[in-house]
């Protein structure tokens, strides 16, 4: 396997060639590469991040973050408030550092894409075979919360029942998970099924080569045909290589794919409509011990308000994560809260906002992402925080630390209501890990960037197979959808 993976130091040629060049080895790229290699094509993957298989992963969260994330995990969406965006940058992309939640696209979203965006051929009936394949390939299962080991999720489940709110057990890509709670920094036991466990080895078995730590800088094209990609070997700043190909598949994620298109002067429409989820974290202190670190994550998801764009789950637990979730409260509060560590839980709410971002590629090597906070999102977040607090108090929380700068902990809904009334958007602590729809797929070149076959409208030989192509904000974790769409696109192509 190692011989198939090039890294800085062993790029001995200046020029390489292949039939299919795939930029990005994450959720979409790895599916595309595996299917193309299995169909007998000569595939090269270009991946900016390094190759770090399971044996590299440790419980040192800051070390792993700098190894596996883009910009060591720091990439702001500029706006008020600025939003911290995190994405994987390693062989396997986001799948290496994500929670492993694999959802089928909600059927009401697929209906919306068909009815409002005119996208044909991607109904539930047409995609179901791909969902089943992805679930099998990724070993997707649901875990029941156990009485001893999943008390944060169990508390959500019981409170949902008491409130008569809808909840579901979460489908996750895991095999023999031992609950070490390190999914966001690389699973050290290999239990979480990233693409390093399946699509990447399958690709290599069928002859694919991986060029790791090598960033695609520019696509050279003429007469609407892409000819080669110029790439920089990371860590060897002056070392550039070029890769010639017959077909190019872009799968660098919803920020980097449009950026590469801009840099190559291929599409100015790409990146204008970047959509994303807003994640906010609430730290809850319970009267009794819940030992949240012992459970696996995200076992239960509260879906009562999913149509309104709100999902609630328990999140990963480690002292570092408490410190990160409470950074706006300052060291004094963090230290005193941590004294009661066994009684704490972190709960994540995910909001589907109306705010939209756009990508600017004029300065330097990296894109700038700007967004405008949509006024309707403030009331949406207010309601989301209130509902989350409601279920947590119902679950037995005695105090909550909210993702709002400048407010004290709250001990009741009444106290929270007063604070929410005077809440300003700039005070919100928002992160995002789901980005999409920056090169939307659709039937009309005036309103979409790729056609329903995944091909760029204005180019003869460029496919896009990542989160960029989702027609709009999906409102749920997107990996299952990205992988299903990648299957459909490559099936139509080979």
Ligand X SMILES: Cc1cc2nc3c(=O)[nH]c(=O)nc-3n(C[C@H](O)[C@H](O)[C@H](O)COP(=O)(O)OP(=O)(O)OC[C@H]3O[C@@H](n4cnc5c(N)ncnc54)[C@H](O)[C@@H]3O)c2cc1C
Residues lying near ligand X in the complex (CB under 6 A) are found at 23-29, 46-49, 86-90, 93-95, 97-101, 184, 215-216, 251-254, 256, 260, 433-434, 466-467, 477-479, 482
What is the rounded distance in angstroms from the CA atom of residue 6 to the CA atom of residue 9? 8
What is the rounded distance in angstroms from the CA atom of residue 171 to the CA atom of residue 169? 7
Q: Please, what is the minimum distance in Å from the beta carbon of residue 203 to ligand X?
A: 14
Nearer to ligand X, 311 or 381 (CB): 311
Q: Please, what is the minimum distance in Å from the beta carbon of residue 286 to ligand X?
A: 25
Q: Do the beta carbons of residue 55 and residue 49 sit within 8 Å? A: no
Nearer to ligand X, 46 or 67 (CB): 46
Q: How many residues does the chain have?
A: 494
Q: Do the beta carbons of residue 281 and residue 153 sit within 8 Å? A: no
Nearer to ligand X, 325 or 433 (CB): 433
Q: Please, what is the minimum distance in Å from the beta carbon of residue 247 to ligand X?
A: 17
Q: Please, what is the minimum distance in Å from the beta carbon of residue 424 to ligand X?
A: 27
DSSP code string of 122-155: -SHHHHHHHHHHHHHHTTEEE-PPPTTT-HHHHH
Q: Please, what is the minimum distance in Å from the beta carbon of residue 112 to ligand X?
A: 18
Identify the three-state secondary structure at position 381.
helix
Nearer to ligand X, 86 or 248 (CB): 86
Residue 330 DSSP one-character state: -
Nearer to ligand X, 312 or 397 (CB): 312
Nearer to ligand X, 98 or 388 (CB): 98
Q: Nearest residue by C-beta to ligand X?
A: 26
Q: Which phi and psi angles does 446 have, rounded to 5°?
A: -75, -25
Nearer to ligand X, 47 or 429 (CB): 47
Q: Please, what is the minimum distance in Å from the beta carbon of residue 163 to ligand X?
A: 25
The residues, any chain, with a CB within 8 Å of residue 4's CB and separated by 6 or more, are 204, 208, 209, 210
Q: Do the beta carbons of residue 381 and residue 387 sit within 8 Å? A: no
Nearer to ligand X, 407 or 437 (CB): 437
Nearer to ligand X, 159 or 254 (CB): 254
Q: Please, what is the minimum distance in Å from the beta carbon of residue 282 to ligand X?
A: 17
Residue 210's DSSP bridge partners are 5, 45
Q: Please, what is the minimum distance in Å from the beta carbon of residue 211 to ligand X?
A: 8
The residues, any chain, with a CB within 8 Å of residue 31's CB and separated by 6 or more, are 134, 195, 199, 465, 483, 486, 487, 490
What is the rounded distance in angstroms from the CA atom of residue 345 to the CA atom of residue 285? 7
CA distances from 345 to 139, 153, 161, 366 (A): 28, 9, 19, 36
Q: Please, what is the minimum distance in Å from the beta carbon of residue 172 to ligand X?
A: 7
Q: Do the beta carbons of residue 154 and residue 294 sit within 8 Å? A: no
What is the rounded distance in angstroms from the CA atom of residue 207 to the CA atom of residue 221? 27
């Amino acid at each position: 396997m190692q011989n198939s993976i090039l890294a800085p130091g062993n790029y001995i040629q200046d020029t390489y060639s292949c039939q299919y060049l795939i930029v990005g080895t994450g959720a979409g790229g790895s599916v595309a590469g595996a299917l193309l290699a299995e169909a007998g094509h000569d595939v090269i993957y270009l991946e900016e991040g390094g190759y770090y298989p399971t044996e590299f992963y440790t419980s040192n969260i800051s070390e792993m973050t700098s190894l596996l994330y883009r910009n060591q995990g720091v990439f702001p969406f500029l706006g008020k408030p600025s939003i911290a965006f995190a994405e994987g940058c390693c062989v396997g992309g986001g799948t290496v550092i994500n929670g492993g939640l694999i959802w089928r696209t909600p059927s009401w979203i697929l209906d919306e894409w068909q009815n409002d965006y005119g996208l044909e051929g991607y109904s539930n009936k047409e995609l179901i075979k791909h969902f089943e394949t992805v679930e099998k390939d990724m070993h997707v299962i649901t875990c029941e919360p156990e009485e001893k080991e999943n008390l944060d999720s169990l508390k959500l489940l019981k409170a949902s029942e008491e409130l008569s709110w809808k909840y579901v057990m979460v489908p996750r890509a895991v095999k023999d998970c031992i609950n070490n709670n390190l999914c966001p920094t690389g699973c050290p036991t290999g239990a979480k099924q990233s693409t390093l466990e399946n699509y990447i080895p399958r690709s290599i078995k069928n002859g694919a080569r991986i060029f790791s730590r090598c960033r695609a800088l520019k696509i050279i094209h003429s007469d609407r045909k892409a000819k080669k990609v110029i790439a920089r070997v990371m860590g060897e700043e002056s070392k550039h290589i070029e890769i010639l190909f017959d077909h190019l598949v872009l799968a660098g994620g919803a920020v980097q794919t449009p950026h590469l298109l801009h840099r190559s002067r291929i599409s100015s429409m790409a990146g204008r409509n970047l959509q994303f989820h807003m994640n906010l974290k609430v730290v809850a202190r319970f009267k009794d011990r819940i030992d949240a670190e012992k459970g696996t994550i995200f076992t239960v998801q509260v879906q009562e308000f999913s149509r309104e764009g709100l999902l609630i789950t328990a999140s990963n637990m480690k002292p570092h994560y408490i410190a990160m979730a409470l950074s706006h409260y300052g060291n004094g509060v963090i230290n005193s809260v941590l004294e009661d560590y066994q009684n704490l839980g972190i709960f994540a709410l995910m909001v589907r906002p109306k705010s939209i971002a756009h990508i600017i590629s004029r300065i330097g090597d990296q894109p700038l992402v700007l967004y405008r906070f949509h006024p309707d999102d403030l009331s949406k977040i207010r309601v989301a925080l209130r509902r989350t607090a409601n279920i947590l108090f119902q679950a037995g929380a005695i105090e909550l630390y909210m993702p709002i700068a400048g407010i004290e902990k709250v001990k009741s809904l009444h106290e929270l209501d007063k604070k929410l009334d005077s809440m300003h958007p700039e005070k919100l602590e928002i992160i995002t890990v789901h980005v999409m729809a920056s090169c939307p797929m659709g039937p009309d070149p005036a309103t979409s960037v790729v056609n329903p076959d995944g091909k760029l409208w204005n180019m003869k030989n460029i496919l896009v197979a990542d989160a960029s192509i989702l027609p709009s904000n999906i409102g749920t974790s997107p990996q299952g959808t990205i992988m299903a769409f990648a299957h459909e696109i490559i099936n139509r192509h080979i």
